[in-house]
Structure formats: structure tokens, C-alpha cells
Amino acid sequence: MFRLLFFLFNYDSFNHNSFSQILLAFVVGLRFDVSAVIYINSLFILLHLVPFNFRYLKGYQVSIKWIFFLTNFAALFFALIDLRWFSFVEKRSSFDIFGTTGDMMNQLPSYLKDYWYLLIVYGFIIFITLWFYNRIKLTKTEYKFPPKSFFIFQIAILFLICCLSILGARGGWQRRPIIPISAASYVSSSLVPLTTNTPFNIIITSQGPSLKPVKYFNELKLKKLFSIQRINNVSMDSMRRDNVVIIIWESLSRYYMGSLNENEGYTPFLDSLAKGGLVCTNASANAHRSIEGLPSITASIPTMMDEAFTFSKYQQDKIEGLPSILKKFGYSSAFFHGGINGSMAFDFFAAAAGYESYFGMNEFNNVKEFDGTWGIWDESFFQYVNQQLISMQEPFFATLFTLTSHPPFMIPKRYEQDFQKQKNQYAQVIRYTDYSLKKFFETASKQPWFNRTLFVIVADHGAHFDSPLYHTPRGGVSIPIVFYSPNKSLKGVYNQPVQQIDILPSVIDFLQVPCKYVSFGESIFKKDSVRYVYNFLNGIYHIEDEQYHLEFDGTKTVALFNYTSDPLFLKNILGTLPGVKMRLEEKLKAVIQTFNDALINNKLLPE
């Protein structure tokens, strides 16, 4: 029933698949359901099978009943939340959701207010489960076995059902237990989320390290294919001392930027910056959530595993983000986010990446501008950022993470009439943030530091809409990236593939910083290089170049698409272009091997 609801609530994400493919996802999904049910109810099953008569006592049975309801209703609650949350991130929730428990609880009231009908669904499920559970009457059956033989008989039953339960939890007789990525062996990558289920995802991703060492290549070949060690061989005299301000725009899909879609769009001010700056027309996110976007943008660490880096077992790896690198050359730094302090662990990562100061809702210190759920309205907080930048020692590096274009999609009441004619609620908050950005630049342009500052505007991740183009593995991560310099030192259109992890090396290159650093990306100012974009979603690795998009499950390539001629990803051409497959797969394997080794062995610092 939950899979059917999940399909209906997220129909736009799956409707490009044929009926037979969707039906197969439902059938194969039963295997993952059995596994989840057994994991969730393992204690319940065991307590019912203990071979002692006290299991018939009323108090004992009441305790087991409570265990059943608490475990199952908790699991189903997360499945319920994912019915709508999936449409924002295009992936099932995983165990790292517990790292954002505080944020989730803050947003839960507004989430349930917007999607109140989910509570009705949940209440119906609880009612039906109670009704069926209470219809099962447990009675003690008298057997004519001798006591000792009866005990042996009960032990045999316990052993048999435990064996069957282990088999069901593993998902079959195969050598390794099933994991979410196992679904890709039966269905296309776009149907993996429909085939699995949220409780299963959470349980599996909670079991041990998500990364394992892989050895696709020996060290010599690996270094030829891919390396994260970078050296910028320039003289100190050539270094620019421009300030740098990175503006990370919450949930801004390429879809909403008019100049990238040949329409008016919803970001008129950002479009005006793009005309006067360097706009990347083929840009992608390496992240699907805000907590993943921040490491990608400021430390060039992509998301190539189920958990976000900040909540993973590798969160204590030593890293050098842009603030750490630039600090060596006299830069001061600050991170600004109008959210409740501690939300998304931004403050934790900011400290790890080397930011000297963190400014959040506490530092803003004016509850009148609190949106009631998430933090401070963008317009008010942006002006606060302007005040702080004036007092910062130059040159400075600052990062501003926007807030309002995030569920529950609210704007200040004073602007509701101004932006109410937008296409939908989401378009309304995008227009409001664009207006807030305009006001920010109007104030900043009057400051002495403005003309000697590089601005980088980038989304933290994409978003999904009614257009089928934005429900493909490529469209879902399509975002704007704009480099803007008021002194007009950067201008034009960059059409090659660009990703968030390219921002760090691009800033280093633009400033001509003479340093060693670590980056999974490449500078957009590096000429004559073949460019790639990497991604990871629902257990599948993705790589694309200027024409092709390849999907890899960690063992084998499962799909290849020509996205220039097939933007909807309708025709899998795997097998028709062996040379393209080999080149992309080889590059992706090198990235995966390097990523796993770097995180497992704490190798995220320059050698």
C-alpha cells in the first residue's frame, strides 16, 4: 500500500517508465519489503518463539504488543514522511536523517500543516493494524508430548523460523544480503526508489561504514586517470587579493532561471547578474540536500555515498576548505546562515572547513524577523550580512547560505500580494529570494569593498517540477552557477559541464593562489581539459561528459544515454558505444576508488 501511495504522490518522477517496468518494480519490491518487515520485527518474532510457558502470560503479551506497535509505527512514520519529502530530494531517506533530528522536528509542524492528509493516512494505518492485531487470539495449546520432547519441539520451531527470518532479511540465498543498490539489477536506476522502501534504506545504511575499499586499478594507473592532489604553480606576485563571496541559494533549480530557459523565469535579478558575469549553462549539483551541498561547494568534496559527509563516520577527517586555504594568504572568513544555530550542522562543518566566524539566528538576535519555522527571512538577514561584511578585514572570504526558498515555502506577509501571481508556492519564494538578493546587492554596491569582490552564486542542490526534463538523473541536479565580478573581469557564457566541486579550484585559479590543495573538481579556467560531472543517487554512480551520461552500480555499467539527443533518458544505448562506455566507466571507477580511499584513510589534505 505504501509503495502504491509513494508512486501516486511522486507520479512525475516515474511516469516516463512503461507499465511493465513499473509493475516489475512493485513485484521486486516485495523482496525488500520482506527484508524490512523482518528487520523491524526481529525482536517481536524472537519473543514470541522463546520455548517457555511465560510467553502466554498476559503481561508478557502486552509488552510484546507494545514492542510491535512502537517499532512498526516508527518505521511507517518515516515511510509516511518520504511520501512527500522524496519529491524535494529525489532519494529515499537514509540513516543520516537522525543527524538532522532537530531540524526535522522544527519543520515537522509546518510539514504536517501543508500535508495534513498524511496524518489521515497514518491514522487509518494505525486503526487497521490495531483492528487486525486484536482479532488474533492467543491460546495455549495442550500437546500430548512429554515435557522434554515438547521443549525440543519448540527449540526446533525457534531454529526453523530464525533460519527463515535470516533468509528473508538477507533477501534470498545469494552470497551477500540485498542492499538498496541491489534493485538496480532488476529495474532502471530511476525506479530504484520505487522498488525499495524507506525503513529498509534507513536500516541498511545504519549498518557499519558505508564505504569499502575498492581496487579497480593499481596506484600507477589510478594516478594517471584521476588525482585529487593539485598544485597551482604561480608566483606570489601574480596573486590577486579580491574578496570572495559565495552565495549558496537554497533549492534553486535551473528550471527557475529565465536566462537559462529562454523565458522570463522567476529570477530577474540573478538573470541580470548573469548577463554581466560568467554564467555556466551546463552546471550540475553534486548534492541532493543542503547538508551535502556545503562540502561540495566550499571544500570540493562530492557526495559519493549514502550519508552526507558531515554526518558520516568520516566527519572527523581533516579537510582544507576555501577558508582554510585563503587564511594562509591573509584572508579573514565568515559563514552566514539565517537558520536556527546548529541546523543542518552547518556550524560544525563551517568550523571544520576553517571559517573564523559563524553568524546564525542567534547572532542576528531579532525574533521579529523569525519565519516561525526555519529561521530569519532572507531580506532581513541579507542586510545583516551587509553590515557584518563592512566590518570584516579585507581581503575576506564569506559564504551566505539563503533560507526562505525551503519548505514550508512561506514569505513575509508584507510581500504576499507582490508575489502571489507566481506559478506556485515554490516560484513565489524563489521570486522573494531573488528580490532579497537584489536589495543585498543594492546595499553592497555602495560599499568600498564591492568592486574588488568576486561573487559566486550557486544552488545547494536542484529541485523537481512538473517538467519531465527535471525528473531525469541529469535534470534533477541541473542548477545555475554564476561568477560575477563588478569590475567586469569575468563575462561570457561557459557551455561545458560544470559541477559544484569545480568552484573551489576555479576560485583558486581566478585569484592565482600559489598553493597545494585537494579537489575532486577541475577549475573552469583550466584550458583544454575534458570535463566530467559525477553524482551518486539511490545507490547508483553517475558520470557524464558533454554528450553522454553513464550509470554504474559499483560493479558494472547499467545504462548509457546520449542526453543531447535523448534528454528524457528514454533509450538506453548501452552496448552500442563500447569506446564511450569504457572511457566513462574507467574515469568513474578512478573517482570512486580515490574517493573511498581518501575518506577511509583520512587523505583529504594536500601531500
Domain final position from 504, 527, 550: 527
Span 145-164, mean pLDDT?
84
Is 78 inside any structural domain? yes
pLDDT at 314 over 90: no
- 44 pLDDT above the threshold of 60: yes
Question: Residue 103: what pLDDT?
Answer: 63
What are the pLDDT digits (tens) for 269-289? 999 999 999 999 999 999 999
Look at residue 245 in the predicted model and tell me its pLDDT: 98
Most confident option among 236-240, 244-248, 564-568: 244-248
- In the numeric block, which cell numbers belong to residue 85? 519529502
Residue 145 has pLDDT above 80, yes or no: no
Sequential DSSP letters for 376-416: B-HHHHHHHHHHHHHHSPSSEEEEEE--SSSTT----GGGT
Residue 94, helix vs strand vs coil:
coil
Q: Which residue has the higher pLDDT, 113 or 235?
A: 235
Residues 176 and 253 in one domain: no
If asked whether residues 156 and 263 sit together in one domain, one would say no
Q: Which of 128-142, 219-233, 378-392, 428-442 has the lowest mean pLDDT?
A: 128-142
Do 90 and 53 have their domain in common? yes
Residues 390 and 433 in one domain: yes
How many structural domains is the chain composed of? 2
**Cα 481 from Cα 542, distance rounded (Å):** 20
Asked whether residue 145 falls in the same domain as residue 243, the answer is: no
Predicted pLDDT of residue 102: 61
Q: Are 46 and 165 in contact (CB under 8 A)?
A: no
Same domain, yes or no: 341 and 471? yes
Domain membership of residue 537 (yes or no) is no
Please check whether residue 70 lies inside any domain of the structure: yes
pLDDT, mean over the chain: 90
| 118 and 262 co-located in one domain | no
36 vs 473, more confident:
36
| 191: in domain | yes
- pLDDT at residue 41 tops 70: yes
Q: How far apart (Å, rounded) are the C-alpha atoms in residues 537 and 541? A: 7
Evaluate whether residue 97 is within a structural domain: yes
Q: For cell 547560505, what's the residue?
A: 401
SS (H, E, C) 265-294: CCCHHHHHHHHCCEEECCEECCCCCHHHHH
Q: Are residues 193 and 255 in the same domain?
A: no
- Structural domain harbouring 139: 2-205
Predicted pLDDT at 105: 67
The reported pLDDT for the residue numbered 422 is 66
Q: How confident is the model at residue 316 (pLDDT cuts 50, 70, 90)?
A: confident
Residue 179 in any domain: the answer is yes
Verify that 258 and 404 share a domain, yes or no: yes
* Strand blocks (E) in 56-211: none
Mean pLDDT of 513-533: 92
Bridge partner residues of 331 (DSSP): none
User: Rounded to an integer, what distance in angstroms lies between the CA atom of residue 72 and that of residue 78?
Assistant: 10
Is 406 within a domain?
yes
DSSP-derived 3-state class of residue 533: strand
413: CATH: 3.40.720.10
Question: Above 60 in pLDDT, residue 143?
Answer: no
CB hemisphere CA count around 489 (13 angstroms): 12
* Between 243 and 343, residue with greater pLDDT: 243
Query: What is the pLDDT at residue 488?
Result: 87
Are residues 189 and 236 both part of a single domain?
A: no
Higher pLDDT residue, 140 or 357? 357
Tell me the pLDDT tens digit for each residue of 182-216: 887 788 878 888 999 999 988 887 876 678 899 99
Residue 147: pLDDT over 80: no
Least confident of 143-147, 178-182, 292-296: 143-147
Nearest Cα neighbor of 480 from 465, 505, 466, 463 is 463
Asked if pLDDT for residue 415 goes beyond 90, the answer is no
Q: Do residue 417 and residue 328 come from a single domain?
A: yes
Query: pLDDT band at residue 418, thresholds of 50, 70 and 90?
Result: confident
Of 205, 222, 254, the last residue of a domain is: 205
For the stretch 13-39, pLDDT in tens is: 888 888 999 999 999 999 999 999 999
CB 440 within 8 A of CB 382: yes
Mean pLDDT over 399-422 rounds to 85
**pLDDT at res. 464:** 63
Question: Of 477, 497, 527, at which residue does a domain stop?
Answer: 527
Q: Which of 92-96, 307-311, 528-532, 586-590 has the lowest mean pLDDT?
A: 92-96
Query: Is residue 596 included in any domain, yes or no?
Result: no
- Say if residue 47 is in the same domain as residue 148: yes
- The x, y and z cell numbers of residue 49, run together, are 518463539
